[in-house]
Structures are given as structure tokens and as C-alpha cells.
Amino acid sequence: MLFRDRAAAGQLLATELTTYNNRSDLVVLALPRGGVPVGFEVAKALKAPLDILLVRKLGVPGQEELAMGAIASGGVRILNEEVVFSQGISEATINRVAEKEQRELERRERLYRDNRPALNLYGRTAILVDDGLATGSTMRAAVVAVKQQKPARIVIAVPLSSAKVCDEFKSEVDEIVCATMPEPFHAVGLWYECFLQTTDTEVCSLLKQSLHLQSAALQ
């Protein structure tokens, strides 16, 4: 299956999550930047508030698409020990990459939130959304960050994932919804007709649109 773009993927994904429609305890958390157009459509369909969870992949120097780990809001850092060992990556290299990505994470936090506080997740159902799962490193960091806030339930929802990675998450969260699991998987972008990089401007616009939708629903 080829998705037209991230918005179309989010619309399809929302049809897999109808049991969560109109739940008062629901929060949709999108992973910027690519997860935000997907999460926007999911939140709109489920009539839920949309928030972001900042996560940055730690790419192997010279092979940035290969994740050796990830960091997330709240001081979370996880490592892919298999990649670190196989690539012979030193702790100094990991720290250098992590420091750089931390600066970018903080920049995005300031820009996207625009002084808005993060939504309270305590005792709520959090649906974590991204545009797809490849290695799963960034989503694992997101799960660790969310667990620190003690939600009642954590759901991962993605338009596509490899079957292996989707299966690995079953023991880490309460539910995982993968709309499609193409094999061989290779890379997330191969399954989108349009996979242009989501911009900061688009992220900010979608977050504002979601706020307006929530405000209109409460009137």
C-alpha cells in the first residue's frame, strides 16, 4: 500500500482507532516533525487534543539515518546497544551527538509550544503517533518519556511499520496499532508517494489549527 501523503495516512490510521473516539481522557501526542500531519488527522477524527512529544534520533556519524539511539523531552536518552557495539562508537561520540541533538530539541520545544504548557498526561490515555516505525528508536524514547508522566494507558499508532518492530512494542505499551506492515520494509519513505520533509511552519500551523478545533468543540 502506498500512502498519498502523511495527511492521507493519518486519515486511514484514524479509522483503526475509532474505539477511542470522543473519549474525555484522550490525548494524541505526535512526534515532530513527520508525525504531526499524521497526528493532526487522528486527533481531528477522534475529537481529541493534540500535543507534541519532542524526540531526536541520535544518528551514527557519517550514517545519520542509522540510529544509535534517541533522546526525548524530560532528559530521556536511550541507546541501541547493538548498533553502538557493531559500529564501535565511543561514549565521547555519543555525548557529542546527543549534545547537538539536545540543542535542536530545545529549539523546537520553544518554537512549537510558543509558551503553551505541555498537556497533563497523568491518568489519561496517550496515543503516540508518528509517520512510521523503522528501527523504533525514537518511539522507544518517546514511550520512556511518557511513562514518566504516569498515564493510565499508552497506545502507539502508526500508519506503517515492519512486522518485527511492531511486534517488539507489544510488551512495552498497552496497545500498538500498525495500519499496515509491508514486507520487505526497508524504509518509511518508500511507502509514501509524497514524503517531503515537514517544515517548522507546517508543524506550528497544524498545532494552532488543532487548538482552534478544540476551542470550537467546547463552545
Q: What is the pLDDT along the chain (219 residues), one digit of tens a residue?
A: 789 999 999 999 999 999 999 999 999 999 999 999 999 999 999 999 999 999 998 999 988 878 899 999 888 999 988 889 999 999 999 999 999 999 999 999 999 988 888 999 999 999 999 999 988 888 999 999 999 999 999 999 999 999 999 999 999 999 999 999 998 888 899 999 999 999 999 999 999 999 998 888 776
CATH assignment of 6-218, among 3.40.1710.10, 3.40.50.2020, 3.30.420.40, 1.10.260.40? 3.40.50.2020
Annotated domain spans of the chain: 6-218
- pTM of this prediction? 0.92
d(CA 214, CA 129): 18
pLDDT tens digit sequence for 94-139? 999 999 999 999 999 999 988 888 999 999 999 999 999 988 888 9
* Mean pLDDT value across the chain: 93
**Proportion of the chain above pLDDT 90, given as a percent:** 81
